[in-house]
Structure 1
Amino acid sequence: MPLTLRPRPHHRPLGRRKAALLASAVSVCLLAAAAPADPLGVGDRLYPYLGNPGYDVAAYDLSFTYSGANDKPLQAVTTIDAWTTTDLERVNLDFAHGKVESVEVDGRPAGFTSAGEDLVVTPDSRLRKGSWMRITVKHTSDPVAAKDQDGGWVRTSDGLAMANQADAAHLVFPCNDHPSDKARFTIRITAPNGYTAVANGVPVGADRVRGSTTWTYRTQHPMATELAQVSIGRSAVLHRQGPHGLPVRDVVPSADRKALEPWLAKTPDQIAWMESKVGPFPFETYGVLMAQASTGFELETQTLSLFEKDLFTEPAYPAWYLDSIMVHELSHQWFGDSVSPRTWSDVWLNEGHATWYEALYTEEKAHRPMEDRMKAAYGASDRWRAEGGPPALPKPPQPGQKIGIFRPNIYDGAALVLYALRQEIGRQAFERLEKMWVREYRDSTATTADFVRLASTVGGRDLNGFFKDWLYGEKTPPMPGHPDWKAMKPTRVAKGQAPE
């Protein structure tokens, strides 16, 4: 799931805490005098200062040098290749929690300064619309500066990993930090010998020079910044084959490889199950990263989903529940990673679908009826809508409260919308819609309106009214086929008191 807060087996996540991002954490130097710069954004209603207008990134080349201490800044170089979509005197990049040493645009030194959480770059000449530009930033990437943030670098017992969703990639590297601007990635990690570094995509080289090794990975499909993953640790990389010869690689602490193997061995069959529901796996490889870290969530980073290792080694959860969480993150490779949300208000398309296939897998494999879960969700839906907003119109984080958008209304609340849709158009049409959706929007972004249009086409009638009520209504509509289902009245929350 984008960012999955892990609940107890008997209830769903209550939300995700977003820590305040301090602009003062960015230390930059001004190389050239310039007029005052302003932070920009692409106008996302939930994260208005994420992303930047005026250009379209085609590729990132990220280089990190790890010293062997996860409490020290990494030396880094980020190169961005992009097309300009308008004339630009300045280029805003999202970046925080690092010191910028130099910036070049097309090989020439450029001025730079900070504005909020933006790195504002001033090239030596105006960039014309439709031109190709290359921005190279030498900087540090500081895992300690971000330690109180809910995202960015995650410090593990033996190194580092990443958890960038929804608004934290720019805590690690300069970027256009919004899922609407996907790009291909090349990621290079230099670490002392004895460490293993793994990243999204497939390996394309490992060069050992004296006491260190530089590992290089490259994605074959575009990726949103929030899905980037880098693991550095004393890790074992285990290989197996998935359906149709798909390479499956898992990354686990070396000492735990034997204990984790029964869980890792489940992935090929889980991929085959998902393919039977929605079609071919959308990427070049898959696997799980089981990190020795305390995050409180699991995360569907592209081609390499992040899990807490202790989730699988401590007997706190039943096996069927852990299976369902693995399938939840796997299903995001189709829903959220391959088909990414155009705006963060479209995130119900990610989480609703991942929750749907999590529940469907549990129904088929563990005989826990989907209908029971959906009936329970229906009972809570009005309360979820009151607390977090309707599924396609989640409430933004409140100033000072640091509440994220990952609330129950976009998990089980959004899966409930899909259940209602299946009831409305029939099982066969619904299953056809799901396959068409991931095929038509593969490697791109999509909106709620796109889903409504396709559902109306497949369903053979205008479903705008149906979706308006289910996705945007303050109250949960009657469930087709279940007139006896009742939603509980939301409880009033005292002013200043957080909802349960």
Structure 2
Amino acid sequence: MPLPSRTPWKPASSRRALRSAVLVALSAGLVAAALPAPAPLGIGDPLFPHLGNPGYDVLSYDIDLTYPGRNTAPLAGVTRIEALATDDLERINLDFTHGTVSAVTVDGEPAAYASSGEDLVITPAHPVGEGDAVEITVTHTSDPTGPVDSGGWVRTGDGLATALQADAAHRVFPSNDHPADKAYFTFRITAPSTLTAVANGLAESHVRNGDTTTWTYRTTHPMATELAQVSIGESTVVRRRGPHDLPVRDVVRTADRELLEPWLRRTPGHLEWMERQVGPYPFETYGVLIADADTGFELETQTLSLFERGLFTEPAYPEWFVDSVMVHELAHQWFGDSVSPRTWSDLWLNEGHATWYEALYAEEKAGKSMERRMKAAYADSDAWRADGGPPAAPKPPQPGEKISLFRPVVYDGAALVLYALRHEIGADAFQRLERTWVSEHRDGTASTADFTALAARISGRDLSRFFADWLYGKKTPPMPGHPDWRSRAPQRAAGAKSAPSAGADSAAKPG
């Protein structure tokens, strides 16, 4: 469900009167005079105030993309959105930029449209009433050019892939681009028949039409826009089975099929390990997409995690490190994908948990001490908080550098909170909390307040003071069970600022 509108609440009679007035204006041809100039709205996210849009809940996206055969030319696109109005709407705002719109219809009728900031502002022929179902169709292009760190399309050595976290889905397709409004997705991708197209969810069909083939994929669980994945390239899809006969499909450059097989075949074991920690895998399929691109990050796109090729081919990365990074992205399928953040300030719940299971896996499988890693994180924690804010109240990203939101405080700094919580409530209560969290909020969105309330319920304790200090304090509280741990003064930990980059998870060399 979307976040509530920031516009003042009006009683139903007042809204009906306003709608009647607009209908009169429509019949008189006075809409332009009755409505203010188009403007971007946003749902008031503390970190991305113009992201998302109020007044409707997207139910599904149906996205057609046609790839021209080269990754420097725009793709042709048609995006169909089915939504439910949660307020009376004379205009409908979508997030969209970096493409050209050529037509818009609302419920099959042509609609006026204009761009304002990074919003596409649509004026339907007839106002939409609260509770109405509405279908919006936008014919547009999708431009893959631009710097990789701005998000959107990633140009690979053999085609394209998407990297949309945190706010770049609307650089690819019109959307309500905020994880608070999850929806079902269908992708239809037309590309030269020499290429392979993949997307989130399960393959439904691929139909060849002479020199081109159209590939159709559909999700069976709702998904946040930032987790959408489309890949087009000279790829091979490698299929195998995971636990409970789960379909596992990996996507690699055809030339790398044999080279990368030793890594690809580890995924079923990773799935089994994660299920032992937190319960059943939450989606219809899983796999890894290894892109021939130098991104500097990995990304937990739903059902098909994105990795850069260099993670698996760079000799400097030890085997245990690569293995644990693969588990980090897999853990996100539960923490961040199935249970999505209500606001971007809840990011610590995504990255802290993925880092926690990454470290736990490295300890269990490679003997890399969790305690030693957490003690090192504790030493740098005050510096991280000074640089990026506390875990659950991160500072906004730097102007023009939205990916700077992904700082160490939401990775190891947030895992440190979980480490402290496990000491505080005990290992058994902590494990029940983790399993209950992903079970109760599966396919939904949840907030920091939801997590802290559940922790108090599971443990039977008042944890308000604990969470106030650990999640919102400027200084790192004493570590339960380790009163001797010390956090260095910020000026002595300047080097700790090196962080995961590009809105995803770092593939920097381990220290």
- Judge same fold: TM > 0.5, yes or no: yes
> SS of 1:187's equivalent?
strand
> SS of 1:180's equivalent?
coil
Q: Which residue of 1 aligns with 2:4?
A: none
Q: Which residue of 1 aligns with 2:407?
A: 407
Pair 1:499–1:338, CA change in 2 (3 A): closer
Q: Does the 8 Å contact 2:384/2:497 carry over to 1?
A: no
Q: Which residue of 1 aligns with 2:44?
A: 43
Deviation at 1:147, TM superposition (A): 3.2
> SS of 2:334's equivalent?
coil
Deviation at 1:460, TM superposition (A): 1.0
> SS of 1:41's equivalent?
coil
Task: Tell me if 1:61 matches 2:62.
Answer: yes
Pair 1:493–1:300, CA change in 2 (3 A): closer
> SS of 1:154's equivalent?
strand
Task: Tell me if 1:93 matches 2:94.
Answer: yes
Q: Which residue of 2 aligns with 1:443?
A: 443
> SS of 1:48's equivalent?
coil
Task: Tell me if 1:431 matches 2:431.
Answer: yes
Q: Does the 8 Å contact 2:52/2:177 carry over to 1?
A: yes
> SS of 2:258's equivalent?
helix
Pair 1:401–1:164, CA change in 2 (3 A): closer
Task: Tell me if 1:115 matches 2:148.
Answer: no
Task: Work out the CA distance in 2 between the residues paired with 1:400 and 1:344.
Answer: 17
Q: Which residue of 2 aligns with 1:127?
A: 128
> SS of 1:320's equivalent?
helix
Task: Work out the CA distance in 2 between the residues paired with 1:359 and 1:281.
Answer: 19
Give 1:161-172 correspondences, 5 Å limit: 161-172=161-172
Give 1:194-273 correspondences, 5 Å limit: 194-273=194-273
Task: Work out the CA distance in 2 between the residues paired with 1:205 and 1:444.
Answer: 28
Task: Work out the CA distance in 2 between the residues paired with 1:186 and 1:64.
Answer: 11
Task: Work out the CA distance in 1 between the residues paired with 2:327 and 2:415.
Answer: 15
39-48 vs 305-314, greater mean Cα deviation: 305-314
Q: Could you tell me the percent identity over the aligned residues? A: 68
Pair 1:463–1:407, CA change in 2 (3 A): same
Deviation at 1:381, TM superposition (A): 0.3
Task: Tell me if 1:317 matches 2:317.
Answer: yes
Task: Work out the CA distance in 2 between the residues paired with 1:427 and 1:213.
Answer: 52
Which amino acid counterpart does residue 102 of structure 1 have in structure 2? A
Which amino acid counterpart does residue 481 of structure 2 have in structure 1? G
Q: Does the 8 Å contact 2:149/2:403 carry over to 1?
A: no
Deviation at 1:447, TM superposition (A): 0.3
> SS of 1:491's equivalent?
helix
Q: Which residue of 1 aligns with 2:418?
A: 418
Pair 1:237–1:498, CA change in 2 (3 A): closer
Q: Does the 8 Å contact 2:380/2:493 carry over to 1?
A: no
Q: Which residue of 2 aligns with 1:395?
A: 395
Task: Work out the CA distance in 2 between the residues paired with 1:169 and 1:115.
Answer: 17
Task: Work out the CA distance in 2 between the residues paired with 1:204 and 1:164.
Answer: 23
Task: Work out the CA distance in 2 between the residues paired with 1:329 and 1:447.
Answer: 20
Q: Which residue of 2 aligns with 1:488?
A: 488
Q: Does the 8 Å contact 2:407/2:497 carry over to 1?
A: no
Q: Which residue of 2 aligns with 1:355?
A: 355
Pair 1:493–1:284, CA change in 2 (3 A): closer
Q: Which residue of 1 aligns with 2:384?
A: 384
Pair 1:306–1:429, CA change in 2 (3 A): same
> SS of 2:465's equivalent?
helix
Task: Work out the CA distance in 1 between the residues paired with 2:63 and 2:402.
Answer: 29
Q: Which residue of 2 aligns with 1:78?
A: 79
Count residues with an aligned counterpart: 466
455-464 vs 236-245, greater mean Cα deviation: 455-464
Structure 2 alignment gaps of length 5 or more = 1-30, 499-511
Task: Work out the CA distance in 2 between the residues paired with 1:366 and 1:58.
Answer: 43
Task: Work out the CA distance in 1 between the residues paired with 2:401 and 2:334.
Answer: 32
Deviation at 1:36, TM superposition (A): 1.1
Deviation at 1:311, TM superposition (A): 1.3
Deviation at 1:493, TM superposition (A): 10
> SS of 1:468's equivalent?
helix
RMSD: 1.6
Which amino acid counterpart does residue 250 of structure 1 have in structure 2? D
Q: Which residue of 2 aligns with 1:105?
A: 106
Task: Work out the CA distance in 2 between the residues paired with 1:155 and 1:356.
Answer: 31
> SS of 2:68's equivalent?
coil
Deviation at 1:492, TM superposition (A): 8.2
Instruction: Give the TM-score, by structure 1 length.
Output: 0.91
Task: Work out the CA distance in 2 between the residues paired with 1:499 and 1:194.
Answer: 44
Deviation at 1:400, TM superposition (A): 5.2
Task: Work out the CA distance in 1 between the residues paired with 2:403 and 2:294.
Answer: 19
Which amino acid counterpart does residue 63 of structure 2 have in structure 1? L
Deviation at 1:149, TM superposition (A): 4.4
Task: Work out the CA distance in 2 between the residues paired with 1:389 and 1:346.
Answer: 13
Task: Work out the CA distance in 1 between the residues paired with 2:115 and 2:200.
Answer: 29
Task: Work out the CA distance in 1 between the residues paired with 2:56 and 2:36.
Answer: 21
Task: Work out the CA distance in 1 between the residues paired with 2:468 and 2:226.
Answer: 29
Deviation at 1:39, TM superposition (A): 0.4
Instruction: Give the TM-score, by structure 2 length.
Output: 0.89
Pair 1:449–1:263, CA change in 2 (3 A): same
Pair 1:499–1:197, CA change in 2 (3 A): closer
